[in-house]
Structure 1
Amino acid sequence: MKHKSVHIAENPEVRDFAREISGLDSEAGDTRVKQIMHRLITDIFRLIDDLDVRPEEFWSAVSYLNELGGEKEAGLLAAGLGLEHYIDMRLDAEDAQAALQGGTPRTIEGPLYIPGAPKAEGFTRMDDGTDDGEVMWLHGQVRDADSGELIPGAVVDVWHADTQGNYSFFDASQSEYNLRRRIVTDGDGRYRARSIVPSGYGCPPEGATQRLLDQLGRHGHRPAHIHFFVSADGRQHLTTQINLADDAYLHDDFAYATRDELIAEVVRHDDADRAEALGIPTPFAEIEFNFELKSTADEHRQQPIKRPHAMEAI
């Protein structure tokens, strides 16, 4: 016989229980953490009631969280469930409310940034030469979004995957800081880099993130992309990435990072004279992408979002 669903989340004793769990009746602890935890606990209680979550389903979810943490995929799942993109949507709304318009759009950082990449002035080579992928000439300028003035001395922190879709530090076969650099723009606000055209990647097929995506009827693929932090004095810090226009998953990114303004064209060249002038072999692929930073006197907005990273480099 099928049981009859019960709803007890709003009962006085359950509401008191949620307050006790969350520490709201105690002077000790962190007020903000207690506020958030109380909301989370009460929402979970209501969810269990409203959807009649069975004990078997509950403990399956607990087991899944253990697996997710053990595989260190929480950041990947946050992107896949659109939570990281939602944070960006809120930040966009805050910018609009503060009349900070224009500039290069932000998009998600993702879970694979490593701080402390080597710094270069104006130009750098990003790859270590061990990947025989297509040579890429990546370049552009950084300008002020309001005045259009070029910004010398801006820092373009750039990182991307190799031709297998893997990132250094997370892939033991790659050298330290391979495909990761910080470039200080020259007197014309320019940055230049020689690298290799990256590939997109998919979530580990047997990992916790993909197992949940499978249950949602979704794939776990990302288009080829290049990540950036761009910063300069007196400007809002920019976290963004460009997606390569010729990728099959360009408009079907499982992490919801694609924005029309951030699609980069890949132009192939076999001009030997131009290649020689750039100091690179032929053929090569060229990607030009320019950034516009919003002016702000708010020092908080000039800094990147503080978040833990998978490995804090020294």
Structure 2
Amino acid sequence: MTTESTESTEPAEPAESDEITVTDEAVASLRAAADPRLRELLTALIRHLHAFARETRLTGQEWERAIGFLTATGQTCTDTRQEFILLSDVLGLSMLVEALAGRRAPGATESTVLGPFHMTASPERPLGASIDLLGGGEPCVVEGRVVSTAGIPLPGARVDVWQADGHGFYDVQQPDVQPPGNGRGLFTADGEGRFWFRTCVPSPYPIPTDGPVGALLKATGRHPYRPAHIHFIASADGHAPLTTHIFVAGGDYLDSDAVFAVRQSLVQDFTRVDDPALAREFGVPNPFRRARFDLVLEPS
């Protein structure tokens, strides 16, 4: 004698997603992710994005415009331009990530954003060389030491430097005007951890405004300017690498940097020096500007 099954052979009805359930369903879809950190990040991303859409009552037209903006941002990126980094910068996200990850031991130099123009390798240069290949600005000598948080010099430390020219442009922005490597240099500290190079005093400049990020700044009534600064990446064996800037004291936009990267400890005097003998020693015209500071690395 056979017993007929009472279970239905009809296919199960598909679950209906709605405003309430779709978030949980999207999160649940990540259960099989092998990487727990990836699962954690995507879970938080989904929950926050969905909360944003609910809070603002995001419309389909608005989301379509946002997708178009992100698409245009990607299409603007090239080998020498990173529009997504620029977007992250102007939204304050780059600085927030740096602040979260860059908390350092007491006494260590504060870190700040990489920026969108570290796009090409800096040429190796001997100590004392000039990175200003065009002579287009006020002459300047930058010198300092790379030391540990204990104040011990770090011989052989590497110091990667890049900056805009005296008119506020990086070499990659003006390939027909500036030679490759202008404003850039990779230096090796001497046996006492010292480094020095010649350059021009940097000037404030606008971040690129001819792309989607520029349109965003205009739409929100924000200016695009960054205060005058020089970028550094310092590294030494046994120590955590440091990405930072120095900013020119007394300059414009120190209180309204378009990418929120100014830290008071990084604002440095570029002192005017009128000393013909010292100018000859450094190989610069007299008078000139001089900036001196230490890059303090924490143990890794």
- TM-score clears 0.5: yes
1:105 alignment partner in structure 2? 110
User: Is 1:133 aligned to residue 125 of structure 2?
Assistant: no
Q: Shift of residue 59 of structure 1?
A: 1.0
Q: Shift of residue 51 of structure 1?
A: 1.3
- In the aligned structure 1, how far is the partner of 2:221 from the partner of 2:183? 33
Q: Shift of residue 137 of structure 1?
A: 0.8
1:200 alignment partner in structure 2? 204
- In the aligned structure 1, how far is the partner of 2:220 from the partner of 2:112? 24
Asked if 2 retains the 8 angstrom alpha-carbon contact of 1:9 and 1:45, the reply is no
1:219 alignment partner in structure 2? 223
Which of 167, 171, 189 pairs up with 2:170? 167
Asked if 2 retains the 8 angstrom alpha-carbon contact of 1:152 and 1:188, the reply is yes
1:309 alignment partner in structure 2? none
1:47–1:175 CA distance, 2 compared to 1 (3 A): same
1:270 alignment partner in structure 2? 274
User: Is 1:123 aligned to residue 123 of structure 2?
Assistant: no
1:16 alignment partner in structure 2? 25
User: Is 1:191 aligned to residue 195 of structure 2?
Assistant: yes
Q: Shift of residue 115 of structure 1?
A: 4.9
User: Is 1:82 aligned to residue 92 of structure 2?
Assistant: yes
TM, length-normalised to structure 2: 0.84
1:55–1:262 CA distance, 2 compared to 1 (3 A): same
1:144 alignment partner in structure 2? 148
Q: How many residues align?
A: 278
Q: Shift of residue 60 of structure 1?
A: 1.1
User: Is 1:44 aligned to residue 49 of structure 2?
Assistant: yes
Which has the larger displacement, 135-144 or 163-172? Answer: 163-172
- In the aligned structure 2, how far is the partner of 1:235 from the partner of 1:36? 28
CA RMSD across the alignment = 2.2
AA matched with 2:224 = G
1:17–1:276 CA distance, 2 compared to 1 (3 A): closer
Q: Shift of residue 43 of structure 1?
A: 2.6
Q: Which has the larger radius of gyration?
A: 2
Q: Shift of residue 34 of structure 1?
A: 4.8
SS of match in other structure, 1:125: coil
- In the aligned structure 1, how far is the partner of 2:89 from the partner of 2:160? 21
Unaligned runs of 5+ in 1: 1-6, 297-314
Asked if 2 retains the 8 angstrom alpha-carbon contact of 1:230 and 1:237, the reply is yes
1:26–1:234 CA distance, 2 compared to 1 (3 A): closer
Unaligned runs of 5+ in 2: 1-16, 78-82
User: Is 1:62 aligned to residue 62 of structure 2?
Assistant: no
- In the aligned structure 1, how far is the partner of 2:57 from the partner of 2:122? 49
- In the aligned structure 2, how far is the partner of 1:271 from the partner of 1:220? 37
- In the aligned structure 1, how far is the partner of 2:40 from the partner of 2:296? 38
Q: Shift of residue 145 of structure 1?
A: 1.3
Asked if 2 retains the 8 angstrom alpha-carbon contact of 1:266 and 1:287, the reply is yes
TM, length-normalised to structure 1: 0.81
SS of match in other structure, 1:139: strand
